[in-house]
């Protein structure tokens, strides 16, 4: 009997000091397993005299029940703790900063183009497009540009054949639009144009935005207002704009427009009143209709707005440059 009591005491001590489920499992095997201590006590039963057997049996059984119950209680306690610990390990700390992911953005030129489109759309202009591969009639002849004009020189433009070339400006879209539509009209036309140029303010492929406004009684005042409004909105209220008399075969009079860039003037566009010959070539009566046109250099506008010194940065695809804008 004492032996049984001692066994129970030992078992309870071990159970109490167990801190994990595998230790507890080993205790279960040690006492209750097939070759366990309790089981071997049961085997002793047959060696006892007949009359002592029931009492001893009941005693061992009782011990077995106590140990089983304690093990189960402890197991529940431990697995509760283990579960809690596991949950803590798995828990997501939402206060830890997330993994940084680099997200791209629109190229600076696309941004400028959209900004300009918004400005002109708000003034009632509509956006139209034209082909980059153009014929000499739309690119030059219809625009009143004579054979002697330097832009027509084979040295200065990219020709596919005698009559087909990469457009040198967006002005042919003026002709294409007028041939398709009746006046009055107000359009802008952004797109790529090509010339044999290459230095810090000239690219061989660059972006222009054409503007054309046709109505009755249009004057230089309308042109000047539109351009000054555009400049104010893109460069700020205090920007300085200068209209300089110039020459284009397709406008009369003609201007070049400069914006103050640091301490120098940077030319950003050409403009003027639509030449009567251009109206005639497009089938509009110059006695009835008048209008203004302009062609902006988008890269130049971005240069002034952001203080970019070298136009070639736009096409170098240097991520350090692009990330700034």
Interacting residues with ligand FA5 (CB under 6 A): 169, 171, 195, 197, 202-203, 206, 208, 248, 251, 267-272, 293-295, 297, 299-300, 311
Q: How many residues does the chain have?
A: 325
Strand residues in 96-240 grouped as ranges (E): 126-127, 133-135, 164-166, 185-194, 205-215
CB closest to ligand FA5, residue no? 297
Q: Which is nearer to ligand FA5, 64 or 195 (CB)?
A: 195
Q: Which is nearer to ligand FA5, 102 or 199 (CB)?
A: 199
Q: Which residues pair with 188 in a beta bridge?
A: 127, 211
Q: Which is nearer to ligand FA5, 74 or 300 (CB)?
A: 300
Q: Which is nearer to ligand FA5, 14 or 299 (CB)?
A: 299
63, two tokens: 């011990």
Query: Are 298 and 206 within 8 A, CB to CB?
Result: yes
Q: Write down the least CB distance from residue 103 to ligand FA5, Å.
A: 30
Q: In b/e form, how buried is each residue of 14-42, taking b as 16+ CB within 10 angstroms? A: bbeebeeeeebeebbebbbeeebbbeebe
Q: Which is nearer to ligand FA5, 191 or 295 (CB)?
A: 295
CA dihedral over 278, 279, 280, 283, signed as positive or negative: positive
Q: Write down the least CB distance from residue 179 to ligand FA5, Å.
A: 17
Q: Which is nearer to ligand FA5, 14 or 258 (CB)?
A: 258
Q: What residues contact 80, with CB distance under 8 A and at least 6 apart? A: none
What angle separates helix 2-17 from helix 21-32, to the nearest 10 degrees? 170
Q: Write down the least CB distance from residue 100 to ligand FA5, Å.
A: 36
Q: Write down the least CB distance from residue 121 to ligand FA5, Å.
A: 19
Q: Write down the least CB distance from residue 188 to ligand FA5, Å.
A: 11
Query: Are 168 and 155 within 8 A, CB to CB?
Result: no
272 sits in the region (left: phi over 0; alpha: psi -120 to 50; else beta) called left
Q: Write down the least CB distance from residue 295 to ligand FA5, Å.
A: 3
Q: Write down the least CB distance from residue 312 to ligand FA5, Å.
A: 10
169 sits in the region (left: phi over 0; alpha: psi -120 to 50; else beta) called beta
């Amino acid at each position: 009997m004492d032996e049984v009591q001692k066994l129970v005491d030992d078992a309870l001590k071990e159970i109490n000091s167990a801190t994990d489920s595998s230790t507890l499992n080993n205790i279960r095997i040690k006492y209750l397993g097939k070759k366990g201590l309790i089981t071997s006590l049961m085997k002793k039963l047959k060696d006892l005299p007949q009359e002592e057997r029931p009492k001893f049996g009941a005693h061992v059984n009782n011990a077995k029940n106590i140990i089983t119950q304690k093990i189960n209680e402890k197991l529940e306690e431990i697995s509760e703790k283990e579960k809690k610990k596991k949950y803590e390990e798995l828990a997501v700390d939402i206060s830890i900063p997330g993994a940084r992911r680099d997200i791209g953005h629109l190229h600076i030129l696309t941004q400028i183009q959209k900004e300009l489109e918004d400005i002109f759309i708000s003034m009632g202009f509509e956006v139209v497009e034209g082909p980059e591969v153009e014929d000499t009639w739309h690119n030059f002849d219809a625009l009143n540009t004579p054979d002697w004009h330097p832009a027509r020189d084979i040295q200065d433009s990219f020709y596919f054949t005698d009559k087909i070339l990469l457009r040198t400006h967006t002005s042919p879209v003026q002709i294409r639009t007028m041939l398709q539509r009746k006046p009055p009209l107000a359009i802008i036309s952004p797109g790529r144009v090509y010339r044999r140029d290459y230095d810090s303010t000239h690219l061989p492929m660059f972006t222009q935005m054409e503007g054309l406004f046709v109505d009755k009684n249009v004057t230089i005042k309308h042109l000047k207002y539109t351009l000054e409004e555009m400049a104010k909105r893109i460069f700020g209220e205090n920007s300085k704009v200068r209209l300089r008399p110039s020459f284009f075969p397709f406008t009369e009079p003609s201007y070049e427009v400069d914006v103050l860039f640091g301490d120098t003037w940077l030319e950003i566009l050409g403009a003027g009143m639509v030449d009567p010959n251009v109206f005639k070539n497009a089938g509009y009566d110059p006695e009835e209709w008048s209008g203004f046109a302009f062609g902006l250099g988008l890269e130049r506008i971005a240069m002034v707005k952001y203080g970019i010194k070298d136009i070639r940065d736009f096409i170098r695809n240097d991520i350090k440059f692009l990330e700034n804008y």
